[in-house]
């Protein structure tokens, strides 16, 4: 595999403090993705980071809906939405990238979830499935065909990004050893199955 070819890109998903141990929405061993991702970034000519970037009182926060608890489900105008603890609030410490993540390799940073009324799991679209983040245009402008994904969390933002990548015509590969999952009521197994069925390549590691 020749990752440094101009038609390949490493997409690093949401390696932020709130998703790491001690954070507001901690993913088990979330900080363990940093070392393998740093190694991966050295192998790619194209690297993009995504960053959850919520305003206060975001519609996906349980605290924004009286009587609702984190991890419950509600219906919003665009469909079903999991409610989360307040996390990755703009300009907060929790929204920062993990301090050991080597962000110097990034050519672009895609911020998502900054519109109050709609959440955004995918790096390509917000959860309404229509509002774009700009990532597709950036990749297309550089004639990138192959997208490799790593980061947090496997069963939410990584999976949604990979599924959208395939739907948009990119070849997508998820590097599982450089991801960690929330696994909310079996969500990891469901999303691994969904990705396989959609044509996403799942690799334990590539280095």
pLDDT bracket for residue 3 (50, 70, 90): confident
Instruction: Give mean pLDDT, residues 175-194.
Output: 96
For 43, counting Cβ atoms within 10 Å of its Cβ (0-12 exposed, 13-18 middle, 19+ buried), the class is: middle
Report which of 195, 143, 197 is spatially closest to residue 173, judged by C-alpha positions: 195
- Return the bridge partners of 203, or none: 175
Whole-Å CA distances, 50 to 10, 11, 43, 110, 169: 11, 8, 18, 5, 20
146-152 and 108-112 strand pairing: unpaired
Tell me if 89 sits within 8 A of 95, measured CB to CB: yes
> Tokens at residue 112, please?
């998502």
> Tokens at residue 158, please?
């990584």
Q: Which residues are catalytic?
A: 14, 112, 157
pLDDT score at 1: 55
Whole-Å CA distances, 130 to 107, 127, 143, 148, 166: 25, 8, 22, 23, 16
- Please give the CATH number for the structural domain made up of 8-54+90-203: 3.40.50.850
201-203 and 73-76 strand pairing: unpaired
- Cα separation, 190 vs 105, in Å, equals 32
Average pLDDT, the chain: 96
For 114, counting Cβ atoms within 10 Å of its Cβ (0-12 exposed, 13-18 middle, 19+ buried), the class is: middle
What confidence tens digit (pLDDT) does each residue in 60-115 have? 999 999 999 999 999 999 999 999 999 999 999 999 999 999 999 999 999 999 99
What confidence tens digit (pLDDT) does each residue in 185-199 have? 899 999 999 999 999
- Going by the DSSP 8-state scheme, the letter that residue 172 receives in this structure is E
Domain boundaries, the chain: 8-54+90-203
Tell me if 36 sits within 8 A of 174, measured CB to CB: no
Q: Note if the pTM is more than 0.85.
A: yes
């Amino acid at each position: 595999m020749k990752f440094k070819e101009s038609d390949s890109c490493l997409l690093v998903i949401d390696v932020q403090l709130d998703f790491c141990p001690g954070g507001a929405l901690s993913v088990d061993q979330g900080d363990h993705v940093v070392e393998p991702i740093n190694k991966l970034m050295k192998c790619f000519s194209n690297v993009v980071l995504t960053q959850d970037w919520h305003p206060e009182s975001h519609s996906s926060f349980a605290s924004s809906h009286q009587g609702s608890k984190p991890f419950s489900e509600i219906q919003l105008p665009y469909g079903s939405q999991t409610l989360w603890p307040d996390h990755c609030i703009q300009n907060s410490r929790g929204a920062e990238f993990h301090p050991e993540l080597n962000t110097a390799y990034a050519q672009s940073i895609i911020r998502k979830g900054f519109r109050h009324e709609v959440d955004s799991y995918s790096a390509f679209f917000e959860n309404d499935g229509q509002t774009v983040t700009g990532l597709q245009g950036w990749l297309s402008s550089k004639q990138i065909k192959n997208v490799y994904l790593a980061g947090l969390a496997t069963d939410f933002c990584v999976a949604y990004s990979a599924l959208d990548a395939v739907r948009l015509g990119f070849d997508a590969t998820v590097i599982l050893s450089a991801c960690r999952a929330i696994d909310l009521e079996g969500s990891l197994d469901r999303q691994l199955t969904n990705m396989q069925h959609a044509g996403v390549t799942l690799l334990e590691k590539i280095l």
